[in-house]
Amino acid sequence: MNSRDQISGLFWLGISIFVCLESSRVGIGTFHSPGPGFLPFWAGVVLGTFAIILIVTNILKKQKENEITNLWKGVEWSKVILVFASLFIYTTLFTKVGYLITTFGLMAVLFSVVERRKIWIQGVTALITALVTYFVFYKWLGVQLPKGILGF
């Protein structure tokens, strides 16, 4: 299983089975009186059908190289993981800790992702970004940014 189309096809097949089962649970209804599961069920059937077509057409092609490992060859995928992890942690702490502190932390991490600079430069840039966006969005545009347990 080294083809990205085979893997993605199996993924979509799994999704389509799940969707069809869920749609049956809420009620597909009849053609006379379509239920809430009607459209998602048939969309799931289309999804599953084309997932199978994708898998089959890929099996019929002669696959030589390992496409999966090639996807991440020569690219800095660790930076992608770092950005995603930072965003995920930020999202979970955002409303609890508050906008300013979490944004300062996020910016400090993100500014160092592409190119590392001196820590104090990154820190100051992150602080300025957090403060400027706080004033622009919260004070000026009235966007309700979360205050968190510390009140800011």
- Interface contacts to other proteins, rule CB under 8 A: 4-5, 7-8, 12, 15, 19, 22-23, 26-27, 30-40, 43-44, 46-47, 50-51, 53-54, 57, 71, 74-77, 79-80, 83-84, 87-88, 90-92, 94-95, 103, 106-107, 110-111, 113-115, 125, 129, 133, 137, 141-146
Count Cβ atoms below 10 Å from residue 52 Cβ, excluding itself: 15
Both tokens of 51, joined, read 């997932």
Q: What is the DSSP letter of 135?
A: I
In whole angstroms, how close is the CB of 2 to other proteins at the nearest point?
13
Q: Hey, what amino acid is at 85?
A: A
Distance CA 91, CA 97 (A): 10
In whole angstroms, how close is the CB of 1 to other proteins at the nearest point?
14
